[in-house]
Amino acid sequence: MEPVKAAVIYYSATGTVHALAEAAAEGAEKAGAEVRLRKVREQAPADAIDANPAWGAHLRETADVPEAALDDLAWADVVLFGTPTRFGTPAAQLKAFIDTAGPLWQQRRLADKVYAAFTASSTAHGGQESTLLSLSNVFYHWGGIMVPPGYTDPVQFRSGNPYGASHVAGGGSPDDIAREAARYQARRAVDVATALKAGRAA
Ligand SMILES: Cc1cc2nc3c(=O)[nH]c(=O)nc-3n(C[C@H](O)[C@H](O)[C@H](O)COP(=O)(O)O)c2cc1C
């Protein structure tokens, strides 16, 4: 059987979600997947970016990360979306990418894949769950197979988020627990996709 294909598609302004995306890509690779790590296109105006030096710095640091394309969605068996929390919802940049997926949806090419999502917020009760739940609405519409981490691994009791890996960015960069939770979430999604792929091939 060909390896499961996993696309980690994220938006990050200042690097937090990027760090989680890298950890998710590691986890997916360790689980045996072929992985594409992709950022979505920046859409913010230059003056907004210039007003936050960390934002511009992160953009420059990740200039070599390929931009997500619809082909990445079509290619993948597993899609892991990462986004900062923006007023309790996903970032507009990620939503803008998702909103280009109409043609794939019409052709039913987004259905039956495994989906999961991860996020960051500044504060502990700043809307991580609502952001992840908001993305799950998209997965319902696509006919996706949602694979949340739940409390299926000891790291989940330490990270504390059964909806998806997450980090409170106000406390600094993702710590070992947040990164491990992102690795675990990706591993679990790939494991489920591997079982599905084997079952479908049988
Ligand atoms: C427009 C805007 C809205 C935000 N809304 C929230 C929010 O609702 N709750 C919260 O805790 N943090 C909020 N934040 C903070 C971001 O979630 C935080 O900076 C982000 O998770 C860091 O991820 P990044 O480093 O990958 O960009 C907001 C930030 C911006 C710019």
Query: Among 35, 26, 27, 25, which residue's Cα sits nearest to residue 3?
Result: 35
CATH class of 5-201: alpha beta
149 CA → ligand 1 middle, Å: 22
What's the predicted TM-score (pTM) here? 0.98
30/10 Cα distance (integer angstroms): 19
pLDDT tens per residue, range 84-106: 999 999 999 999 999 999 999 99
For ligand 1, atom 15, the nearest C-alpha belongs to 122
Q: Is 49 in the pocket of ligand 1 (CB under 6 A)?
A: no
pLDDT tens per residue, range 65-76: 999 999 999 999
Atom of ligand 1 nearest to the CA of 58: 25
106 CA → ligand 1 middle, Å: 32
Q: Who's near 123: CB < 8 A, 6+ residues apart?
A: 168, 170
- Give me the residues of the chain with pLDDT under 70, please: none
